[in-house]
Structure 1
Amino acid sequence: MSFIAPLLQLFVSFFKIGIISFGGGYAMIPLIEREIIEGRGWLTEAQFLDIIAVAEMTPGPIAVNSATYIGYQTEGILGAITATLGVVTPSFIAMVILAYVICKTQHLLVVKGALKAIVSGVVALIGFATIKIAISTGLFEVRGGLNIDYVTVTIALAAFALLRYTKLHPVLILIGFGFLGIIIY
């Protein structure tokens, strides 16, 4: 049972980091550093920097990746699981509470208005990202008037139609259009 105490310390440390961190994973890095190096002495500065570099390169949120790697470095696979659970549990609890509050208050006019505005904001963010990507990939060029690459627009519309009107998996569509791009371009 002596292995439980270090796992509990890992969970509590990353739970604290998860509960007091706002602003995403990069904002958590100084908190993780303070807790793990200065507070607990689990890693050296060099080890921590290596872990951050690996966490940045791997898919997923940097805070979760860092917690997983630090947990693994200190307590093996159980440490990785424990640290990861510790850092994501506060967000999970907050989302459950928020979902409960929304479900209980969704009939209120103010909540309906807020949700409608949030959805509108999300649509605007997705639309903005789509336009930026379209411009950066050459789909549209805005300098000196609007220039349109009609072949690329046709491919984009075909991909959209396949996503909308068929049951093809999006990955298959991406792979298929990747091969089409190799042939055309």
Structure 2
Amino acid sequence: MIYLTLFFSFFRIGIFSFGGGLAMLPLIFQTVQQFGFMSAEEFSNLVALSQVTPGPVAVNAATFIGYNFAGVTGAVCATLGVALPSFLLIITVIKFLDRFNNNKGIEAAFSGIRPATVGLIAAAAVFVGESALINMENSILLNGSATGVCNELTWGYIKWVLEDLARGVEIIPCLVFVVTVILAAKFKMSPVKIIMIMAVVGIIFCS
């Protein structure tokens, strides 16, 4: 039963996700939360591992989750589930490719899909960022336990809010995040080099 659950869960992800592996991450995250496959922190580690290992992000993620939850057979079921829809759709599209060329309806559909894909990737960044950059347990406001706290707009209250939020921010991961953005966007450094450098930084400062 669990093997069918893994297969059909990832088959659904493969059908309804557009824009590549990163755009699939929000739906994958919702799936693992729904079935209790792994925690948010484990999912954050999964994203990092999927980026480091060769192959598409979605396939790597499906394999990891399937194996983590149901061993080798679970990994096979999840991987087949997420890859099969793309295979079938591409085969179908190739057969009718000439009919799709210059079709206004298809062009209009993709004009809506493209910005939606950007939004899905941004949502994935938010999901992963919450577990990688913020420690909810250290902040009263972030973990939702600030009941009965005075909310009058005074300097003392504002200072308390800022200090509380600062306690919830993981300094080293946030610095790693900022430096990574600079190295990738400004200096065009290879993602492989960045990951290797930041892995060493993590070993030195976070172990």
TM-score of the superposition, structure 1-length normalised?
A: 0.52
Q: 2:6 aligns with which of 4, 10, 18?
A: 10
Is 1:80 aligned with 2:75? yes
Residue 12 (structure 2) pairs with residue 20 (structure 1): no
1:149 aligns to what? none
2:56 maps to 61
5+ residue gaps, structure 1, are 115-135, 137-185
Which residue is equivalent to 2:86? 91
Amino acid corresponding to residue 36 of structure 1 in structure 2:
V
CA–CA separation in structure 1 for the residues paired with 2:35 and 2:28: 10
Mapping of residues 106-185 of structure 1, within 5 Å: none
User: CA separation in 1, counterparts of 2:18 and 2:39?
Assistant: 25
Letter in 2 for 1:92: F
Equivalent in the alignment of 1:142: none
> Partners in 2 of 1:41 and 1:73 — Cα distance?
11
Structure 2: how far apart are the matches of 1:30 and 1:48?
Answer: 11
Distance 1:100 1:24 in 2: 22
Q: State the alpha-carbon separation in 2 of the partners of residues 99 and 26 from structure 1.
A: 24
Shift in Å, 1:86: 0.5
Per-residue CA deviations over 1:100-122 (Å, capped at 9, x if unaligned) read 224xxx5x8x86x89xxxxxxxx
1:100 — aligned with what?
95
Task: Give the drift of 1:46.
Answer: 1.5
Displacement of 1:30 in angstroms is 0.9
Identity of aligned residues (%): 43
Matches of 2:47 and 2:6, distance apart in 1: 17
Give the Å deviation of 1:45: 1.1
Q: Which has the higher contact order (CA 8 A, sep 6+)?
A: 2
Deviation, 1:56, is 0.8
1:71 is matched with 66
Deviation at 1:90, TM superposition (A): 0.8
Larger radius of gyration: 1
Normalised to the residue count of structure 2, the TM-score between the two structures is 0.47
Question: What is the alpha-carbon distance in structure 1 between the residues aligned to residue 76 and residue 41 of structure 2?
Answer: 23
Runs of 5+ unmatched residues, structure 2: 104-187, 189-207
- 4+ runs of 1 displaced by more than 6 Å? none
The 3-state SS of whatever aligns with 1:7 is helix
- Cα distance in 1 between the residues matched to 2:95 and 2:67: 34
- Within 1, Cα distance between the matches of 2:10 and 2:24? 10
Deviation at 1:76, TM superposition (A): 0.6
SS at match of 1:84: helix
Shift of 1:99: 2.3
